[in-house]
Chain A
Amino acid sequence: MENLTKETIDKGLEVLDTLNDGKLLTHLNSCVHCGLCADSCTYYLANPEAKFIPATKVDLVASIYRKYNTFGGKAFSKIVGARTLNEDTTNEMVDLLFGACTMCARCVSHCSIGVDITYVIKKGREMLSNMGMVPETLQSTIDSALETGNNMSIPETDFVETLEWLEEDLQYEVDDDNAKIYLDQKGKDILYTLNPREPKFFPLSISAMAKVFYVTGESWTISTKMYDVTNYAYYSGNYNEAAIITQRLYDEAENLDAKKIVLAECGHGSRAFRWEGPNYIKKEYPFDVTTSVELLASYLKEGKVKVDPNKIPDKVTLHDPCNLARSGGIWHEQRYILNKCVSDFVEMTPHGIDNLCCGGGGGQLAMSEYNDRRMAIGEIKAEQIRATGAKIVATPCHNCVDQLTQLNVTFKLGIKIMTLGEIVADAIVMETKD
């Protein structure tokens, strides 16, 4: 950081060139520093310090923009609070934009003006990425994905072995030797993706979806070459790397001639591929993209899956992944699923598009240097869960599953964490064979 060259600084400042970005121009000029966003940020709620107010984080980027891009900032920098991009500001940016924001966007919908705070923070991260200042921990996750095709560097042979074992397990469970987990099959309707945490730590969530697909008679496959739904470059702000990861899944869908990509239960992965991906690669997808949450809801609506809510008698609550609900518009579907599949569903307060982040977003789970902060903000979620009295927390996101699992241990919640696929699979009523 000590050798911040002019070239490095210029690379950072390039991001603030608003000539092609009216949205950036708008949001960099809109914040009035009212500070009323503070109470909408879990970082601030956990640590009520000025630096954690979302407006402070926005101003870190906006003040640099003013310095180099506005008349006021150039002529009266002290008056308008314009700041130079130097070691101090970059250190502050790394600490606050990477280390104190889950990009949950809760502050955005509550902002008195309507500043897209997350968008500005993403731009700040992009500046740091251009300057080579992405935290190494986060970058190593991206490097794994780029080098091996999945962010957990799972070798293909191990992956295939896991799926073969899961297939045997599926055949035993549904009592049918013809039940399959289809690998690399061309011309199927669905190319199903996975969060690499599933084959690595949570294989039962793959079994659960395989069981649902079996029951529905779905035409589906998993690619052994490119199944990773995640895209941590979305968090780092390196959109060249984000484009490479997006393009790989795009190419695999084309290669396997799949009609639709179904995104596994992963909040940021769903967002990164469905909403951001086409903009990374600057083209529309020729195939459909949907989330497994929408797919599960549609199966239930169409009666393709028969369920019995009495099979899950425990009280269940739902944690909405921020990227899926607030930034993806999917929050009715998961409620529909739970109301069908469990007998005692209770909401957290607040919930839906107003939910509180669990603390695992924004790449925080990958950046171990900020673990203390992550667990501190997670305590708010832990208490929210405790208040419901639920025994099961359902969440359609494997990042959230990871964070909630840690919260469960740290704050002794005594809960079970399940994905929606697992909930549906457990509630399924298998038709008896003649």
Chain B
Amino acid sequence: MKELIKLGIKESTIKKLYDKLPFSIIFNIESNIDNVIDIITYLKNINIDCIDEILLYKPYIFYMSKEKLNKLFSEENIRIKVTKINNDITNLDFI
């Protein structure tokens, strides 16, 4: 997961991730790390500022392809969606 620190994810988040998530999921995230990096880069580019929290509480997002995520965000006003998610990450479930 060291790659994620280079992307600005806090070390404490990585530690929490290991403490909180089951081994089966941690292992899967590690094994799909390239996709995780792609998604984080995409979210950062559209100004999502709660990526640490998304990693901890919405890890399923990292199994989407960048293309699918792009499509979801571009269907409506992207700025409103980003603001809503930055206010409360639960809104990510409804994009």
Say whether A and B bind each other.
no
What is B's interface to A at a CB cutoff of 8 Å? none
What is A's interface to B at a CB cutoff of 8 Å? none
